[in-house]
């Protein structure tokens, strides 16, 4: 292979990022089953529950995930390879108090194993922050992460998220004793992280407030 062809391959983006649409429900089902099998601690749904969903339920889910206050970003290989390589969803949160800044939540964060460590997660997150701010009008983006998900925590910390002190028991934790009150620290928790979303003119190249 010539030097210029090798360079073109090296410089090519690892994926094409687009919006999930309601017609993508079969792609959504495929990637959702893949992500639940790959990283069961990362999501608040079990693989067996997802497998029981009907076609109609997947169609409804794709419609919900692409409706007004929900934007789902999907990374694929373009027309040549429509398989999903990564996914992230942002959704507007109901404000707890009207005077509080608008918040969005980051959900369904997934990059397929072969594409981890290549910058795709960063690209998806940058776009998620951009649309959360510019299209949903959010000033803060928050997320929940399992306390043992070290890779995800490192990724979020590198991109300006911090722990805000909130947490809750992780509902899918199979080690969770029935009597949570007696379990104390043994119960695994989902930790909340958040970061500010700066308007475009006040953002640095990492998307962080200047």
Ligand X SMILES: CC(C)(COP(=O)(O)OP(=O)(O)OC[C@H]1O[C@@H](n2cnc3c(N)ncnc32)[C@H](O)[C@@H]1OP(=O)(O)O)[C@@H](O)C(=O)NCCC(=O)NCCS
Residues that bind ligand X (CB under 6 A): 39, 42, 109-111, 116-117, 121-122, 145, 149-152, 154-155, 158
**Minimum CB distance to ligand X, residue 209 (Å):** 20
Question: How many distinct helices (H) and strands (E) make up the chain?
Answer: 7, 7
**Smaller CB separation from ligand X, 117 or 137:** 117
**Minimum CB distance to ligand X, residue 106 (Å):** 8
Q: Which residue is nearest to ligand X (CB)?
A: 121
The C-alpha atoms of residue 179 and residue 6 are separated, in whole angstroms, by 59
**Smaller CB separation from ligand X, 25 or 161:** 161
Alpha helices in 47-119 (DSSP H): 47-51, 55-65
**Minimum CB distance to ligand X, residue 98 (Å):** 29
**Smaller CB separation from ligand X, 23 or 44:** 44
**Smaller CB separation from ligand X, 31 or 71:** 31
Closest CA to 172 of 12, 47, 2: 47
Counting Cβ atoms within 10 Å, is residue 15 exposed (0-12), middle (13-18) or buried (19+)? buried
How far is Cα of residue 95 from the mean position of the Cα atoms in its chain? 21
**Minimum CB distance to ligand X, residue 5 (Å):** 26
Are 124 and 45 contacting, i.e. CB atoms less than 8 angstroms apart? no
């Amino acid at each position: 292979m010539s030097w210029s062809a090798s360079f073109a391959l090296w410089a090519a983006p690892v994926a094409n990022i687009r919006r999930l649409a309601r017609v993508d429900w079969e792609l959504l089902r495929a990637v959702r089953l893949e992500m639940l099998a790959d990283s069961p601690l990362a999501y608040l749904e079990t693989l067996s529950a997802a497998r029981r969903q009907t076609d109609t339920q997947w169609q409804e889910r794709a419609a919900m995930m692409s409706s007004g206050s929900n934007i789902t970003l999907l990374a694929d290989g373009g027309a040549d390879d429509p398989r999903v390589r990564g996914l992230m969803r942002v959704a507007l949160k109901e404000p707890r108090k009207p005077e509080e800044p608008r918040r969005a939540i980051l959900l369904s964060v997934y990059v397929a194993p072969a594409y981890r460590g290549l910058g795709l997660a960063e690209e998806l997150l940058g776009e998620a922050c951009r649309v959360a701010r510019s299209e949903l009008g959010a000033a803060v983006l928050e997320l929940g992460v399992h306390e043992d998900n070290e890779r995800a925590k490192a990724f979020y910390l590198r991109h300006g998220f911090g722990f805000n002190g909130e947490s809750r028991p992780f509902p899918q934790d199979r080690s969770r004793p029935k009597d949570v009150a007696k379990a104390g620290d043994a119960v695994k928790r989902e930790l909340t992280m958040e970061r500010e979303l700066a308007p475009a003119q006040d953002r640095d190249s990492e998307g962080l407030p200047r």
